[in-house]
Structures are given as C-alpha cells and as structure tokens.
Amino acid sequence: MMHAFPRTFTMPMQRGERAATASAAPLTPAGYIRLRREAAGLSVRTVAGMLTRNATDAVVAFDLINALETLGNTARRPETLEALRSIFPLDPDVYRQLTSDPADSHPRICRGCGCSHWDPCTSDEHAACAWVTDTACTACLPDTAPVECCQ
Ligand SMILES: [Zn+2]
Ligand SMILES: [Zn+2]
C-alpha cells in the first residue's frame, strides 16, 4: 500500500518572497536581528555555539538570542550587539534607531534581508546592493531593475 508522508514542516520563507510581501508596519528591533541572522544563513543554535566556548554558555546564549528576537524585547547592553555583530553583519546604529526613534524617521531597511545603507549586501559580482523598492534590495529581488542607486 502506498504511504504518503504528511507535510509536517514549513519551508522558511525565501528572502525575495519576504521582501516582495513585506508589510508596511515598522520593523521592530527584534525583527531586525532575526532578518540579519537569517540573511547570513545561520540558525539561532549556530550563532549561540559560535558566541560561546562550552555547552552551558551556549544554552544561555541560545536563550538570549531567542529573547532578542521576541517582539517587544531589546538589547540593553551595546556589548550584546557587538558580540552578535562579530558573527553576522548588523548595524548597531540601525538597531538603536529602531529601538528609540519614531517609525517615520526609521532608516530604510530591506525587508528581505535587513540590509541598509551602511550595511549593504555584497557579492563577488556586485560591490554592494542597491534599492529596488523602498523595502527591498537588489540582492533580494535580483530580477527587478533597481530604481535608484544609493550605495
Ligand atoms: Zn535585501
Ligand atoms: Zn541588500
């Protein structure tokens, strides 16, 4: 008898799809950390392991990263952001603005990967990404012609 496996997993949303379907809601500091981590292709567990030297510390770091990626939470100490930044690209200044500035003065951030003006995507082919839309960069929507080069 044929047996069909149920689809019990969900595929992670691709960055292009996420950039194209981004809501207009302001990006939160928690959402920003998660975008930057996922754009680097790293799991929370991997980052926690890279931050620490032993399994006990890795558990603490795992909980900390999950907390930072939970809506409403923000990093209290700059050292935390600097530690994360040593593992994957993120801009502490963008984080600070998302934390403390009103939404209408937030920096422009790609909703597919979290890159921004001072923290662009780079590849072998292109020096840095450019903006395709207000909320998407050329690295996330490569098939769309950039409307403006701002890097
Ligand atoms: Zn992007
Ligand atoms: Zn980009």
Q: pLDDT tens per residue, the chain (151 residues)?
A: 555 555 444 555 678 888 888 877 899 999 999 999 999 999 999 999 999 999 999 999 999 999 999 999 999 999 999 999 999 999 999 999 999 999 999 999 999 999 999 999 987 766 799 999 989 999 999 887 766 555 4
- Delimit the domains of the chain by residue range: 27-137
CA of 111 to the centre of ligand 1 (A): 6
pTM passes above 0.75: yes
List residues, by chain if needed, whose CB lies under 5 Å from ion ligand 2.
110, 115, 121, 129, 137, 139
For 72: left if phi > 0, alpha if psi spans -120 to 50, otherwise beta; the answer is left
